[in-house]
Amino acid sequence: MVLRIVAIVAGLALALAGTVEAQTPRKGGTIRMTAPYGSSFTSLDIHTTQRAQDEIYAKALHRSLYIWNSAEGKPVLELAKEDVVSGGGLVHTFKLRDDAYFHNGRKMTADDIIWSYNRIMDGTKAYPGARFVRVIEGAAAVEKGQAKEISGLKKIDDFTLEMKLTEKVEPGFYFFTALTSIYPADEGAKDSFIQKPIGLGPFKFVEHVPGSRIVLERWDRFYKPGKPYADKIVVSIMGEAAARDVAFRNKEIDTSVLGPAQYVAYQSDAALKGTIVEVAEVFTRYMGMNPSFKPFADKRVRQAINYAIDTDLIINKLVKGKAYRATSWLPLTSPAYDKAMKPYPYDPAKAKQLLTEAGYPQGFEFEWTTSQNESWGLPIVSAVIPMLDKVGIKAKVKQVETAVLAEVVRTGDYQAFVYSQASGPDPQAALKCFHSSTPQPACNYMNFKNADFDKIVDEAGQADDPAKRIELLQKANALLYEEAPVWFFNYNKAVMAVQPWLKGVQLNATELTHQNVEDLWVDETSPAK
Amino acid sequence: MLSFLFRRLLQTIPTVLAVVLLVFVLFSVVPGSIVTSMSDDADPQVELRLKKQLGLDQPVYVRFGAYIAKLVTGDFGTSFRTREPVTAMIAKRAWPTLQLIFAAMAFSVAIGVPLGFIAALRPGGIVDTLAMVVAVSGLSIAKFWLGLVLMYLFALKLGWLPSFGYGDGGLKYLLLPAVTLGVSPMALFARTTRAAVLEIMTADFVRTARSKGMSETRVVKWHVMRNALVIILTTVGLQFGGLMGQAVVVEKLFSWPGIGSLLVDSVLQRDIPAVQGSILVVVLAFLAINLLIDVLYGVIDPRIRYA
């Protein structure tokens, strides 16, 4: 089953790549993307917002030190041409691009990167990108107000930057999202920047109609020769799936994210079936169990939960096949995903047996905190409750809104919860969330503590050989599966409908709506001129 | 009249204060914080510092006092999320919302009032029956569903109008959201007008006018219409407030850049200054419209005098 899924994903990627290669990109035209995750963009200051919604426009407007390469499934250098590693893997010397111009016409230099990273570490602002920049030596001191500048960043010359890290990690995973976008140091501090942002990206800002759209136009001095192809990009905010569906069918938009119901409808419609692209995103959906709630402290109880739920049935019937079965924490598109792993089978008898062994032959009752999310919230909980009831476990639902759930999860104020959490793209960072040194509010939401697990993850962090590192991470992932701190539900299958005239769409496993827009182009059949 | 206006303006102060206080208290007791929505990985020290910077470490009554002090100078505060002045954020959204609400109101009055009038003039007839079917349907239809049906019909099937967006704010973008928002008040106006006209038709002064030999056209024009307008105007005034609330759904559905979507996002992201500002503007608009309606009473019906 898993191999089949991998094959499908790979096949789709090859098919898409083949299509792009076979045609010559057309210059001009307008790309009309949609932002489907709310009714507004949070801010035009992308350092301040961690919503996937905002990165959709930011990918066109801004650039970071690295960029996600969907074909290779990893981050690659973007604002630097070369990264020379020294100091036992901790010191990175970047040879920066000398042809990257901000939208005000000024060339980017090492000062802009240092200024941007210092800004992100401003300890009075809680910029979400701080979690990534913190890996640079001295960044935490700036955040705590103990230093003014990050000591681990050194300008060698205008186009050479030295970065000293606190851990031996691949910096690409830390500096590829828009949260660490490089701003022009002279303009970024001005109040006007929020109204009219200036970036290094392939498109420059034209207009923002809050709650409706952002319009961007081609930046002619973009550093990649011949790119971007399109003249203009319009990103429309369309939080309602049904409205998006009408607009897509009416050819008013070029992309539309599909939910489970639409996924089924589009698959069964001959005219729309060919528009679907899908990818296994690096998000794991799960039910977290609080080990300080007595029954969940016992591994056998947590395993029993995994055996008691017919996960495949829920994925097929309720999620309409718009998900991949989770085998452990690391998702299908993770470099450390282990194809040999098998999911917990549906086995209520085994669940009963484990509960009896753990001292709960009659089961127990717990409170399950959930949001109303259709893919991993209340509908899923409602379907699981009778399954758990079959083995004697009673669940009481506590429904909260998503923002409250995030707070509940961070503070540990729950017996169990259901959630969707990033489980990549960096497998080491994803598994580090379960390291006992990771505080609960950071991302160790189940407050998982296991000395064996810590040891393996630490070893992986010190490994110089990438193959050895992957092997260790797979071992840690397997241990996590055995310990079952969560009910391993699914990995998100992101699905987007793409009009046939829009070419170059990348199967981005980190978030399908985040496209490197300089690679997109529209052919002459596009109705938008 | 001036003293009446002054008195009414003074009366709005406790209403506004009560609303501001209510929103303040509500956002102090509901779980979730701005810091969590900004970064789910904030350093605890940063979290404390940010709360201090935003004044969230103060007791509610201190924050409330500070907010009121700013408010009297016309300062709605600064958005936690965007770091923009809330007045600037609202200013950007106010015009599209006003466009939407006034267009919806114009549609509902233009269709609903004549429909109710015609129905009342021939009670029990085909027009009356049809008008009431339209009215009952209009009141029952969910806005979300109606909006989708209109999109499907006028954008997808007929290709006459865009299905979403603000465009340049022109009529072709405004029509579908305005009709979606206006159908429910249109139905209400039709029913209210019909009921008012039917009641006035049986009033003594109408009977007297007829018995004096006044033509039916003049009776309707001079007695029935003028008296019915007072009732209709009251309904219109009340509906303005309702439309502001209902605009949220329509704005979200049609990607219309109004205050409604700003309010929803601000609530979800715990941006308290933006929530307070948006609600305050809606309340002020509601109070202003009601005041205007009261003034119009006197213009329409000379019997109403303001002491």
Encode pLDDT of A47-89 as tens digits: 999 889 999 999 999 999 999 999 999 999 999 999 999 999 9
pLDDT of residue A402: 83
Is residue A49 less than 8 Å (CB to CB) from chain B? yes
pLDDT of residue A4: 47
Distance between A370 CA and the closest CA of chain B, angstroms: 14
- pLDDT 10s digits, A444-472: 999 999 999 999 999 999 998 999 999 99
Question: Is residue A5 pLDDT above 60, yes or no?
Answer: no
Is residue A241 less than 8 Å (CB to CB) from chain B? no
The residue of chain A with its CA nearest to that of B254 is A243
* pLDDT confidence band for A380 (50 / 70 / 90): very high
Per the CB < 8 Å rule, is B93 touching A43? Answer: no
Per the CB < 8 Å rule, is A243 touching B255? Answer: yes
pLDDT of residue B90: 93
Report which of residues A6 and A218 the model is more confident about: A218
**What is the Cβ-side half-sphere exposure of residue B120, based on CA atoms within 13 angstroms?**
24
Q: Which of A89, A69, A88, A87 is nearest to A77 (CA)?
A: A69
Question: Is residue B178 pLDDT above 90, yes or no?
Answer: yes
How far is the C-alpha of A388 from the C-alpha of A394, rounded, in Å?
7
pLDDT of residue B306: 58
Per the CB < 8 Å rule, is A211 touching B163? Answer: no
> Cis omega (within 30 of 0) on the bond before A335?
no
- pLDDT 10s digits, A212-266: 999 999 999 999 999 999 999 999 999 999 999 999 999 999 999 999 899 999 9
Among A513-517, B25-29, B103-107, B145-149, whose mean pLDDT is lowest? B25-29
Q: Which of residues 381-420 of A touch B (CB under 8 A)?
A: 400-404, 406-408, 410
How far is the C-alpha of B107 from the C-alpha of B117, rounded, in Å?
16
Question: What is the dihedral angle through the alpha carbons of A222, A226, A227, A230, rounded to the nearest 10 degrees?
Answer: 120
Question: Is residue A110 pLDDT above 50, yes or no?
Answer: yes
pLDDT of residue B260: 87
Of all residues in chain A, what percent are helix, strand and coil, respectively (each to 5)? 35, 20, 45
Distance between A252 CA and the closest CA of chain B, angstroms: 8
* pLDDT confidence band for A90 (50 / 70 / 90): very high
Is residue A249 less than 8 Å (CB to CB) from chain B? yes
- pLDDT 10s digits, B166-175: 998 899 999 9
A468-478 average pLDDT score:
97
Distance between A46 CA and the closest CA of chain B, angstroms: 10
pLDDT of residue A161: 98
pLDDT averaged over chain A? 94
B72-94 average pLDDT score:
89
- pLDDT 10s digits, B214-257: 888 888 887 888 888 888 888 888 888 788 888 989 999 999 99
pLDDT of residue B305: 60
Report which of residues A102 and B295 the model is more confident about: A102
Which of B33, B82, B157 is the best substitution to test chain A (most A C-beta atoms within 10 A)?
Answer: B82
Question: How many interchain CB pairs under 8 A, A with B?
Answer: 168
Whether residue A493 contacts residue A281, with contact meaning beta carbons closer than 8 Å, is answered with yes
Distance between B281 CA and the closest CA of chain A, angstroms: 17
Neighbouring-strand partners of residue A278:
A495
Tokens representing residue B70 in the block = 């700013």
- C-alpha A56: how far from its chain's center? 12
A122-140 average pLDDT score:
93
Phi/psi class of residue A525: alpha, beta or left (left: φ > 0; alpha: ψ in -120 to 50)? alpha
pLDDT averaged over chain B? 87
Question: Is residue A13 pLDDT above 70, yes or no?
Answer: no
Of residues B31, B159, B268, nearest to A407 (C-beta): B31
Question: Is residue A10 pLDDT above 60, yes or no?
Answer: no
Whether residue A478 contacts residue A328, with contact meaning beta carbons closer than 8 Å, is answered with yes
A101-110 average pLDDT score:
98
Question: Is residue B45 pLDDT above 90, yes or no?
Answer: no
pLDDT of residue B307: 52
Distance between A502 CA and the closest CA of chain B, angstroms: 20
pLDDT of residue A74: 94
* pLDDT confidence band for B55 (50 / 70 / 90): confident
* pLDDT confidence band for B49 (50 / 70 / 90): confident
Looking at chain B, the whole-number percentage of residues with pLDDT higher than 90 is 34
Question: Is residue B209 pLDDT above 80, yes or no?
Answer: yes
Of residues B40, B256, B262, nearest to A406 (C-beta): B40
Is residue A146 less than 8 Å (CB to CB) from chain B? no
- pLDDT 10s digits, A169-219: 999 999 999 999 999 998 888 988 988 999 999 999 999 999 999 999 999
Q: What is the DSSP letter of B78?
A: B
How far is the C-alpha of A438 from the C-alpha of A447, rounded, in Å?
8
Whether residue A457 contacts residue A435, with contact meaning beta carbons closer than 8 Å, is answered with yes
B189-206 average pLDDT score:
89
A376-395 average pLDDT score:
97
Query: What ipTM score was computed for the predicted complex, to two decimals?
Result: 0.88
- pLDDT 10s digits, A441-450: 889 999 999 9
Whether residue A432 contacts residue A425, with contact meaning beta carbons closer than 8 Å, is answered with no
Of all residues in chain B, what percent are helix, strand and coil, respectively (each to 5)? 80, 0, 20
pLDDT of residue B222: 79
Amino acid at A527: P
Q: Which residues in chain B touch residue A238, judged by CB atoms under 8 angstroms apart?
A: 164, 255
pLDDT of residue A14: 44
E strand or H helix at A277:
strand A276-289
How far is the C-alpha of A80 from the C-alpha of B120, rounded, in Å?
77
Question: Is residue B118 pLDDT above 80, yes or no?
Answer: yes
* pLDDT confidence band for A17 (50 / 70 / 90): very low
Q: Which residues in chain A touch residue B144, judged by CB atoms under 8 angstroms apart?
A: 240, 242
Buried b / exposed e over B155-188, threshold 16 CB at 10 Å, is bbeeeebbbbbbeeeeeebbbbbbbbbbbbbbbb
pLDDT of residue A209: 94
pLDDT of residue A86: 97
Annotate A231-271 with three-state secondary structure: CEEEEEECCCHHHHHHHHHCCCCCEEECCHHHHHHHHCCHH
Q: Which residues in chain B touch residue A404, judged by CB atoms under 8 angstroms apart?
A: 30-32
Looking at chain A, the whole-number percentage of residues with pLDDT higher than 90 is 88
A336-353 average pLDDT score:
97
Report which of residues B126 and A159 the model is more confident about: A159
pLDDT of residue B122: 84
